[in-house]
Structure 1
C-alpha cells in the first residue's frame, strides 16, 4: 500500500536515552531539573537556503524582521506556510546560572521533522534526521552562565515518503535537562510470568553514566510498586569509572503469586520501578518507569495472551489532525485511543511512524497491543543487511520503548517486496528479525508484507507471525499466504478504496472483508486501514485519489474526528459480541428484555470476556438521562450459547429513549443499541442556499431523530432525496429548472418512524454558485480552524468575521485548501463568520449562513 513512513537517517552517531521528567505536560518521572523551552520562537523561512552562508545561526543574529512560531508546532498550520517545503529557522534565547552549568546540562528535542541542525551561541552541536525520534546534546562547553545564550535550529521538511503529509517544524517539546554528572540513563525491565506457578520473574537492567573525572562508588536501590504499594525491593552496589558513557548492572527478583496482576488489554495492570542512585554522601539521581507483567506467544496457530487464545482486531492510525498537525498534544492522543477502545480495538501495527512516549504510555494504561516499526517501505536502498542505518533505527526504538507492555513486537519493515524490488530483502529481514529477538527475546519480531502470498521464499518465512496487508481478495490472499508459509496470519492492513469526507457517506465494507477472514483457523485477526483521514496530496490510482481538500479519506473519522458512517460499521464488526438485541421494552412493567449473542470460536474478534457489563440508560421526554441500570455479565467464552437478561428500572417518568450498551471492564461502550420510543417531532428548515447546480437545505439536528430526507414537489411531480445524518441536504436534480418554484419539506426519521413533514419552504433555483460546505470548526490556542469542502473549480476562499452576531469587521482571503486558520483569536472568545468561494472564472458564490465558534 501507499506509504507513509517519512523518515530519513541521521548523519552522525549519538546516544538516545529514555528521559523521565517531573514537570507538567510530560509523562515522565525522574529527578531531573527541567527548564522548558516551549513557547514562541523567532521564525523565518529560507526558500533559497541562504541562511547558513548568511550566519543566521550566529549568537548576535538580528531577528527584527523574523516572525514567530509556536514550539511545539507545525508551520503548515499557518495559512502563509500551509504548503511550505524547505529550510526554516527557529531561534530563541535562554539563561542559566553557575549552579546549573556545574551539573550535566542537556538540550533535549522530543522530535523535529525531519532534518535538524542545532547551534548554541554559534557553535554547531550536530545534526539529526530521524523526524519522529528524540535526540539530545550535552551543551555544557557552549553555555555562558548568567548571560543570554542563543539556541538556533535549522529545520528542513523536504523528506517525504508515501502519502503522508510532511508536517514541518519543531513538532514536539524542547527542554533543558539538568542532572548530576553521574546519573541513570535508563532502566530496562523484563517481567515474565510463570503461568503455571502464578509467579513472575523480574529483571531490571540499570544503565548509568559518569561524565566526571573521578570514579564513583554507587548504591542502587530498586523499589517496585503497584497502585502505590511496595511489592518488591532490592539493592545493587557498583563502581562507575570516570568518563563512562554506559555502565550496566542487573537486579533480579521473583515476584510471588500474591503480588502478580497480569497486564491484559481488558485489565491493563501497571507496576512502577523506581531506581535511586546514591553515593556515600547523598542520593544523586533517580529514575522511574512503568511496566506490565504479561506474556504474548504463538502456539501452533494460536496467539496466546497470558496463556489464553485471542483473535484480536484493531486500526492503523496516521497520528495527526488538521488543527494541531502532528504535534500530538495529549488531548489528541487520549481522544484517539479512547475512540479506538470504544471500537473494540485491542491489537494493531498501530502506526508506521514511531510514536512519542506519551502516546504509548496511554496505550499501556488503556490496553491496545501494538508493534513498533522500522519505517522502511517498498523499494529502498536501506533494505540491505550490511547497511548500518536500519540496525541503528531498530536498536533505538527497542532501547527507547523496552518497558511498555502495550508493545508486543517489533516490525523490521513494511511491504519490502520480493527480491525483484529489493535484491537483499531476505538477508535483511532475516538479520533484522534475529537482531530484534536478540535485543528483546520476550517480544515477537515480524516483517509486514503484501507479497507473502506470492512465494514460499518471500521474507515472511523468517517471522513466526505473518503480518499481511490486503486491499482486495482478502480471503484469497490470506489463503495463498497460508499455503506458502503455514503460519498464523494477522491482517495488519485491510481496506478497499477511499470512502468520503462526508460523514454521512463515508463507509467501509467491514462486513464484506471480515466475512472473508472469519472462521479460518490460520487467520487470527486484523486491523483496518485507517482510523482517521489525514492530510495528503497523494494522487494514486482510481479509488485512491486524494480529494482537492487534501483530506485523504481512508478514515472512519474525519480529520476533525467527526464519526463517519464507517465508524458504526466497524464498531458492529469489531464488537466483542456478535449481537445485542433489545427484544422488548415494557414501559408499564418498566422492564427490558435483552439477548446477547457471543462470538463463535473462530470468529474475528473472539476472546474470553470477563467482567463485562450491560448498561441501560433511560432518558426523559427531553432526552435527559434520568436513570442508569448496570448488570455484570457472567464470563463469556467464544462459542457460548445466547445469554438472556431482564433489566428493570425504577423511574415512572415518560421516556423518550432507552440506550443499552455492552461495557468492557474499563467502561468503554463497545456495542450500543438505541431505541427511540416516539417518532421525531416536526423538523424545521433553517437556511437555504440556491444555485444553478443545486439547492442546499439546512436544519438543526434533533436528539429524537437519527436521519433526515427532503421531499420536493411541483404540481403533480414529487421526489425524495437520499437519507442523511448531516445537518444539510443538497438537491442536485436536473428536473428542477432555473427560475422554477418548487415546494420543499424536511422529514426526520428514527427507529419508531417518520416525523410530520416540516412546513413547506418555497424555493426557486437561480444562477448563483453554492458556497463551500463547512464541515467543522475548532478553536485552539493557535486560533480558529475551519474545515470546508473544496472543488477543483475553486479559485479563492473568503471569510468575513467578527465577535458579535451580524457584525463582520474583519476579512480573510486565502487559497489554502480544506482547512484554513483564523489566527490571533483567543480561546474562549466567540467569533461569528460567513464563508464563500470565488470560482476560477471569477464569480463569487453565495455566502454560507452565519456560523459561530467559541
Structure 2
C-alpha cells in the first residue's frame, strides 16, 4: 500500500487535530448517526488513555468514538477519494454520515477506505471512527477480557507495555487519479561501481508505465518503461549505515500522451546477506549497536510526535548507536523514512508479542495450558499473525534502512506446536520478501537445548536477563550463565547471533558502591559484564540494549511508574548507563565489523 503523498497527480488533506470523543458506555445506540453527545475532545494523533483524568476512560474496554466534520476539496471531481488511517489501535469501524464504509483489524499498520462512490468533491460529511483496544486470543498481540465481581470488564494482556489505544497516528483525506499506480516494489544490488534497481509496478486502469531514477541532486541517472525492469546506475553511491544516500524513483502512468499519475519512491542502493556467522550489508560485516525502543511518551502514549522523533534520533547518534528494533510492533512510517534519510539500521518487527503462556506461569516457565492450542494461539491467531506479516512487509519492503524482519517477540518456541505454528508464517514472509533475513526474539525459557524453530530462521536473536530476573545482584554467576548460553547457540546453529534484549531496571538518582539492583551503577556494571562476554565471540553480530527509554506498562506491582530499563528516562534524560554506552559504542568505531574503513 502506497503512502499518500502530494505529487503532480495526487493531493492530500491532513485531518489531525482535536476530534469529538466518547466511550461507548456514555452514548446511545448508533452514535455515528448524529453529532456525538459528549463534552470531551481528544487529540489526533495520540492514544486516548492518558489524555483525560477519568480512570473509566483510561481503563476502558470496548469501543470509543472519534468524530469530526470533513470537507472534500472542490477540485477533486473525477478523482478517486480515499480516507487513510496510518493506524487505529487495535480495530476500527469507519462511518461516513450514517453509513459504515470500512473496517480494519490490526493496530499498527495503515488502511485506506475508498469513498469515491460515497461522497463528492466540495461536499462536507460527518466522519465517525469507532476504535477498540480489545485483545483476545484471536488478535495480534493476544490477550483476554475478564469480567470482575462488580461486572466491569478488564483487559488482561501478556506483554509488558501499556495497552495504549486510539488513533495514535495521522488521518488523511487524499485523492488519486482514476487510472493510477497502486504498488511499487524495489530490489537493489550492485556489481563493482554499477548499481542495479529492479522495479515492479502494479497499476489500475489504463496507461503505460515509465520510470526514471534521479540522484540526490535531481539529475536523472537511468530511465525505463514497462511494469517491470532493471535500471543500471553507473558510479553508484551506496546507502550505508551512518552514510545514507537516497535516489528517487519516479513512477509515471502515461495515457494518450499525458501523465495521468506520478508517484515517487525513495531508493537506497544496498544489499543485505547472511553468510556463515556474519551479517553483511553491502558485502561488509556489520555489527549492530543500539536499542529496543518503544513508541511511548507522556500524555501522548503511542501517539506519533515529530519532535520526539527528531530528538530520539539525536540521542541515538549521541550514544553511538547505529540501529534499533521496532519492538514490539511496526512503528510509524515517518520513523522509517527518517531512518532511511539518516542511515540508521532497523530490525522491523510485527506486533506478535505475548505468544507465550510460559510468561503467565512466571519464571518457572510452566504454562497453565499449551500456548499453541485453540485455547490460546490457535488457527485464528495464526491467521491474524499472517495478516500482520503481509501488511508489515507490504508497507515497509522498500525502506533501505530495514535490513531484517522479526516476526515475533519471545514466543514459546520451546513448546510443542511451535514448529507447526511458525513454519507457514516463515514461508509466507520469505515469499513476500526473499531478500531480507528473518529472525525472532528468543525468550529466556527457550534454550539451545529445547528451542524447536531456530532452524527456520537466519539470525539468532537472544533476549537475556542474567543478573536481573536470574541471579539478580550476582553478576559473577550471571556472567557464567551468559557465557554458556551463547556458546550453546554458537555450537548448535553456526549462525550470526545478536543480543536483542539485555538490561536492568534502574531508578534515576539511586546510587550505591555495591552491585545493588535498581542503582545507576548496577545498570552500568550489568551492561559492562554483557559486553565483556560478547567480545569473546566472533559469531556475535550485535547488541541492542533493552531499552532506549523508560516506558509505561500495566499496573503490575513489580513496576514502579513503568519499566525502568531505559538508559534514558521517559523524558529522555540520560542515566549513567547512557554515558557508558556512548563510551563503548563510539570506541567500537573502526574496530567492530561494519565501521568505516572495514
Normalising by the residue count of structure 2, what TM-score does the alignment of the two structures yield?
0.83
Structure 1 counterpart of 2:163, from 163, 166, 171 = 166
Shift of 1:384: 5.5
Alpha-carbon distance in 2 for matches of 1:390, 1:63: 34
Q: Does 1:546 align with 2:532?
A: no
Provide Cα deviations, 1:673-697, integer angstroms capped at 9, x if missing partner: xxxxxxxxxxxxxxxxxxxxxxxxx
Contact 2:550-2:564 within 8 A present in 1 as well: yes
Alpha-carbon distance in 2 for matches of 1:66, 1:153: 17
Alpha-carbon distance in 1 for matches of 2:73, 2:247: 37
Shift of 1:173: 1.1
Which residue does the alignment assign to 1:75?
48
Q: Does 1:557 align with 2:568?
A: yes
Shift of 1:137: 0.6
Which residue does the alignment assign to 2:362?
none
Shift of 1:185: 1.6
Which residue does the alignment assign to 1:393?
388
**After the TM superposition, which residues 499-514 of structure 1 pair with which residues of structure 2 at under 5 Å, given as runs?**
499-502=506-509, 505-506=519-520, 507-508=523-524, 509-514=526-531
Which residue does the alignment assign to 1:494?
502
Structure 2 counterpart of 1:516, from 529, 533, 542 = 533
Structure 2 counterpart of 1:57, from 16, 32, 39 = 32
Shift of 1:403: 0.9
Which residue does the alignment assign to 1:482?
490
Q: Does 1:324 align with 2:318?
A: no
Normalising by the residue count of structure 1, what TM-score does the alignment of the two structures yield?
0.59
Which residue does the alignment assign to 2:184?
187
Which residue does the alignment assign to 2:547?
530
Unaligned 5+ residue runs, structure 2?
136-156, 357-370, 467-480, 512-518
Which residue does the alignment assign to 1:371?
347
Alpha-carbon distance in 1 for matches of 2:422, 2:442: 11
Shift of 1:487: 2.0
Alpha-carbon distance in 1 for matches of 2:273, 2:417: 29
Alpha-carbon distance in 2 for matches of 1:146, 1:350: 40
RMSD: 2.4
Alpha-carbon distance in 2 for matches of 1:385, 1:467: 26
Q: Does 1:360 align with 2:368?
A: no
Which residue does the alignment assign to 1:289?
265
Cα distance, 1:223–1:147 mapped onto 2, change above 3 Å: closer
Cα distance, 1:34–1:311 mapped onto 2, change above 3 Å: closer
What SS does structure 2 have at the residue aligned with 1:267? coil
Shift of 1:454: 3.7
Alpha-carbon distance in 2 for matches of 1:412, 1:385: 17
Shift of 1:452: 5.0
Which residue does the alignment assign to 1:815?
none
Provide Cα deviations, 1:225-259, integer angstroms capped at 9, x if missing partner: 1212334333435xxxxxxxxxxx21212222x2x
Alpha-carbon distance in 1 for matches of 2:88, 2:197: 35
Alpha-carbon distance in 2 for matches of 1:385, 1:43: 32
Contact 1:371-1:408 within 8 A present in 2 as well: yes
Which residue does the alignment assign to 2:147?
none
Alpha-carbon distance in 2 for matches of 1:532, 1:560: 8
Q: Does 1:225 align with 2:214?
A: yes
Contact 2:224-2:231 within 8 A present in 1 as well: no
In proportion to residue count, which structure has more helix?
2
Unaligned 5+ residue runs, structure 1?
1-16, 23-28, 211-215, 238-248, 579-597, 600-605, 611-634, 638-854
Cα distance, 1:133–1:170 mapped onto 2, change above 3 Å: same
| 4+ runs deviating over 4 angstroms | 144-147, 380-386
Which residue does the alignment assign to 2:139?
none
Alpha-carbon distance in 1 for matches of 2:547, 2:204: 42
Contact 2:222-2:233 within 8 A present in 1 as well: no
What SS does structure 2 have at the residue aligned with 1:275? strand
Shift of 1:190: 0.9
Which residue does the alignment assign to 2:4?
20
What SS does structure 1 have at the residue aligned with 2:429? helix
Contact 2:68-2:126 within 8 A present in 1 as well: yes
Cα distance, 1:66–1:503 mapped onto 2, change above 3 Å: same
Structure 2 counterpart of 1:471, from 465, 474, 477 = 465
Cα distance, 1:146–1:299 mapped onto 2, change above 3 Å: closer
Larger Rg computed on CA atoms: 1
**After the TM superposition, which residues 214-613 of structure 1 pair with which residues of structure 2 at under 5 Å, given as runs?**
216=206, 218-237=207-226, 249-256=227-234, 258=235, 260-377=236-353, 378-379=355-356, 381-382=376-377, 387-418=382-413, 420=415, 423-450=416-443, 451=445, 453-455=447-449, 458-472=452-466, 473-495=481-503, 497-502=504-509, 505-506=519-520, 507-508=523-524, 509-539=526-556, 545-547=558-560, 550-577=561-588, 599=591, 606-607=592-593, 609-610=595-596
Q: How many residues of Structure 1 are paired with residues of Structure 2 in the alignment?
A: 530
Alpha-carbon distance in 1 for matches of 2:162, 2:113: 28
Shift of 1:532: 0.6
Alpha-carbon distance in 2 for matches of 1:308, 1:482: 21
Taking CA–CA contacts closer than 8 Å with sequence separation of 6 or more, which of the two structures ends up with the larger relative contact order?
A: 2
Contact 2:9-2:177 within 8 A present in 1 as well: no
Contact 1:96-1:146 within 8 A present in 2 as well: yes
Shift of 1:111: 1.1
Contact 2:20-2:38 within 8 A present in 1 as well: no
